[in-house]
Structure 1
């Protein structure tokens, strides 16, 4: 289930369930209060950090303003600058709160919180500029320019650090919310699998509400089935979850859903609705309420857009520049490989490119000379993390000492820049597969071949060889269907971090 498509509507409803029953009457939801306390703590921490960094920005602007004489320096006194700084800081904080720059629900993922900072900054600039103009208040132009250049950078840095800290806390069992899932066992199973995999989201599924007609319900859902839909409100009072999550399998009508949401609002429980879509990026989805109906418009898959000239031009320019810039690294690497065992420097291998066409795949040689001959005997050994298609060994005995260094920092991949330049590959895309691997593809996995393979891709920056085959396919198909130029740039940035961390590099 794509994370971007979880729609938080905290005040919507659900099926016709009894208000009282075997689980007792209304109980005050302590868990919901705890979750809201955590949210308030996150918001308060962000506001305090914002005040600190904006104060730093104001001080820097005061210190630098005298050195930017070419912008013109007004004759304002230091005390007037201090008063102006207090007003600007206050207006800036309010503007960011209005635009959602401190929303705890979006701090863990997505660009909304960064967008809130930028929109809040633009709103503050407009407000301050209008006040200065209408009230004819003199203010140092260098101060104004420096403040609104340094301030947004510091605020974005705060959000980046806060996101990492919140996600880390959630991964370690803190700042988490308990979730009760409502729907058919098939849809519940998909939600449970996603939330258990993406632990940084901070959701713990404590149980499910599913139709009583479902057989083998606990096994199929992956969590205990606590009851059917007629008992849902009683279950909420007994379990006291922070969130009730409705999947596409819940059987409520719109009117019934609304009535139950009223009851959940009284119990201070948030509501999340997951539409019947999966692995769809948020920029392909537009929600447009019409006559009370939340119509979801979805763009078509973008595999064809990933083959447009703009992406190819970027690949040619970037690969040419990198080949030129990294030429000393190429030379040193080649010498180290040759001195290591006297064998060849470049390893050539037949791989499968776009549309199933064969390509000659280039790498710096990191294995012994008879590596391919020894592969057959090693393929029978246990494979890492259930990967039944890709052959990967974390302790592959064929790797040379020089090769281990090359692989740790992905230096063995550098010759693929030539593959990119000549059009066999792209900088970003699914990993090029061996013909024997393609023979084991199912119908879904074949869609990986719809675009040019890449040096790096979404699965490489999400765990590399540590990922299972199912996760590899899922991430590659998400990339193919949801391609965007901005996503390519983000993957390239994340690649640098993944290479330095060396996680999953073998």
Structure 2
């Protein structure tokens, strides 16, 4: 298989042409299509051969047609659902959301076809083949994404971006793209209201190439892959529309940053009312069918994980008892949904009576905001240090999830004294159950500033979805293995 990644770096960040980025995008897209096709064919052929061997005389009639039809149906559904669109490949939950939606549509069509043809073998393909295809294709895509993100951290496979807006908003965009290179953007040039000075100008190391009125000219001349429009008084509806018209016929994607609020994901909808395009923001959902599904997934997931980790938890409990005096578990009051308190469970990682010694260490606090944290806390035991690094001490919280006081994914559970100091905005964290993991867990944990941790928790509360939960759970494993921000 041809590698989807280029072998050389692109041009320096002073007006890179989009051709190399376009080449790798198409190469990566072809690799994903090939991967999906091969994975689907492998699963379908394996199931067909295994079960068809029992009925070799009628293999072609009963199994061969169904196998071939299932593969065509899955691949066709992926194409119709635009699951191979370059804009969604390699980043965000949208890629897996479209993949899941495509496979669900294929399942429905397959079921309806089986009813119409009165096929007795259709259940095998619905309940075995499609789930197996989903498992293999999603795993393959995740592995491809890991390779892509690895290349992006080295400065490869990045889309050259022309940012156009006020200096402050553009500076924020540059900072975010550098902090999160896996998202695939690299700001190569900037247009501002005043444009460059006589001898040129730099904004956070990126060259200012022109005024906001010059954006289309620079795109046609230098071929940027993305035009990121950030807030500025210059951008009236007419000027944005004119810019969109001027970008027609290019390979450039125009992205407009929201000005009113930080809301994303499934709550944003574009509606045309009386010929006017309106951005409709739906209310966050705290009840209903999706929340009921989340509740079921939490309880079942916690039960399964407790069974799987039972031997490890017994072993860890013995180590805790052997390492220092005290009990196996540490119990602490935390604040949950709607401000109700509950007792959280953890493996004990500190010496006995560690809470009483906290006052003596108050001056050494390294935690953000109201949090108390020490990178080298003298109260932590030898075994406790290892447990904390890999978050093994939090496994008993699965009992909290099983009993309904916590969720697998959610905001960090605060202490009563922390929540008492919350303002009205921060108290929105308490609208949902706290989580065993969350956006804060996969984004740096204790290394985050207080403001960033709050922002991530509020973003989760506002933009929650089942797909986002799935991505967070998947990324938690990597965060735990690397131990980033854990102390």
Q: TM-score range by the shorter chain?
A: 0.7 to 0.9
Which residue is equivalent to 2:5?
none
* Kept after mapping to 2: 8 A contact 1:307/1:451: no
Show the 5 A alignment for 1:411-430: 411-420=392-401, 424-430=405-411
Show the 5 A alignment for 1:210-359: 210-212=192-194, 225-236=208-219, 240-249=223-232, 251-266=234-249, 268-303=251-286, 330-356=313-339, 359=342
Structure (1 or 2) with the larger CA radius of gyration: 1
- Matching of residue 34 in structure 1 with residue 34 in structure 2: no
Which residue is equivalent to 1:183?
165
Show CA shifts across 1:78-133 (max 9, x none): 9x95x9978876776455334322222101222345524753785699599979x9
Which residue is equivalent to 1:9?
none
Bigger mean CA offset, 300-309 vs 49-58: 300-309
Show CA shifts across 1:51-99 (max 9, x none): 4334433542452133454xx9626399x95x99788767764553343
**Distance of aligned partners of 1:59 and 1:284 in 2 relative to their CA distance in 1, 3 Å threshold:** same
* Kept after mapping to 2: 8 A contact 1:100/1:112: no
Show CA shifts across 1:128-174 (max 9, x none): 9979x99xxx9997997776565454333332222222233223211
Which residue is equivalent to 1:48?
34
SS at match of 2:346: strand
Which residue is equivalent to 1:397?
378
* Kept after mapping to 2: 8 A contact 1:38/1:175: yes
Greater relative contact order structure (CA < 8 Å, 6+ sep): 1
Bigger mean CA offset, 204-213 vs 114-123: 114-123
Counterpart CA distance in 1 for 2:307 and 2:50 is 39
Runs of 5+ consecutive residues of structure 2 not aligned to the other structure = 1-14, 196-200
- RMSD over aligned CA atoms reads 4.6
Counterpart CA distance in 2 for 1:356 and 1:125 is 42
**Distance of aligned partners of 1:300 and 1:74 in 2 relative to their CA distance in 1, 3 Å threshold:** same
Bigger mean CA offset, 366-375 vs 230-239: 230-239
Which residue is equivalent to 1:363?
346
**How many residues are treated as equivalent by the alignment?**
467
Counterpart CA distance in 2 for 1:364 and 1:199 is 36
Bigger mean CA offset, 325-334 vs 35-44: 325-334
Residue 476 of structure 1 deviates from its aligned partner by 0.7
Residue 175 of structure 1 deviates from its aligned partner by 1.0
Counterpart CA distance in 2 for 1:152 and 1:354 is 34
1:115 aligned to which of 76, 85, 98: 98
Which residue is equivalent to 1:19?
none
Counterpart CA distance in 1 for 2:400 and 2:43 is 46
Show CA shifts across 1:370-416 (max 9, x none): 533544454444837xx344333333332111212322343322443
Show the 5 A alignment for 1:377-396: 378-381=361-364, 383=366, 387-396=368-377
TM-score, structure 2 as length reference: 0.77
Which residue is equivalent to 2:11?
none
**Distance of aligned partners of 1:450 and 1:184 in 2 relative to their CA distance in 1, 3 Å threshold:** same
Residue 42 of structure 1 deviates from its aligned partner by 1.0
TM-score, structure 1 as length reference: 0.74
Counterpart CA distance in 1 for 2:113 and 2:433 is 51
Which residue is equivalent to 1:169?
151
